[in-house]
Amino acid sequence: MKNLQFFCDFDGTITKEDTLNKFLRIYAFDLWLEVEQKWLDGKIGSKQCIEEQMQLFPPMNQKTIDEFGDSIEIDETFPDFLKYLESENIDFTIVSDGFDFFIERILKKNNIKNVRVFSNKLEFENGKFKTYFPYSYDACKRKSGVCKCNVLNLNRIVTKPVMYAGDGMSDFCVSDKVDVLFAKGSLLEYCKNTKINRGNGFDLVGFKTFEEIKNYIENF
């Protein structure tokens, strides 16, 4: 048994592409790009960004949304990775600045059950979306919908090293608060550019699939 905890981003990490970003590209009015740029420029936090963006859709129907959710693919090695963690009694938690609305459908489609998820909440009613942010945090420096640093702080077990996998901006803040960081995409570039992989026994590991992460843990 491995004495570890594993926290993981969802969009672009477990899934092959960012779910919300794809949903916006396909269905939202073009104004979503202006809102996105304000977030990228640091003028607004992700909470305000996605709150505004989810109001930029024409009236939609449940069938279209369900079909979209079913079109999202995950890393093929992820289900086996979860089975491995379970066999080693390693706690696994998804921490996402995306929406439960999509996460739950994607997990269900792939027959993935009993996974703890911290995410923003989305409801669909009368053709429109309503957003809720139960894991926001007033002191969050990035003003995120889900303050990943606070979720990690409240749920980590101090006797267990913490591993984390992520790929993007929503993972930047939490990246230096774990013992082993598995990174790809803009998160990996951020860590390299800020030299975040130096000191205090911190380990930065680039990855492409969860099979690589499994191999690392087996030798940890």
pLDDT tens digits for range 137-183:
999 999 999 999 999 999 999 999 999 999 999 999 999 999 999 99
The CATH number that applies at residue 14 is 3.40.50.1000
- For the four alpha carbons of 100, 98, 136 and 130, in that order, the dihedral sign comes to negative
In the DSSP assignment, the letter for residue 193 is H
Stronger pLDDT, 1 or 198, i.e. the higher one: 1
Q: 78 vs 200, which has greater pLDDT?
A: 78
User: Kindly report the CA angle at 182 between 157 and 15, in degrees rounded to 5?
Assistant: 100
Burial class (CB in 10 A: 0-12, 13-18, 19+), 109: middle
Report the distance separating Cα 183 and Cα 210, nearest Å: 11
Question: What is the distance of C-alpha 65 from the center of its chain?
Answer: 20
Domain that includes residue 189, residue range: 5-218
As for how many domains the chain has, the answer is 1
Residue 199 has pLDDT above 60, yes or no: no
- Could you give the angle at the alpha carbon of 126 between the alpha carbons of 55 and 52, nearest 5°? 10
Q: What is the pTM of this model?
A: 0.95
Is the distance from CB of 197 to CB of 203 less than 8 angstroms?
yes
**Whole-number pLDDT of residue 200:** 56
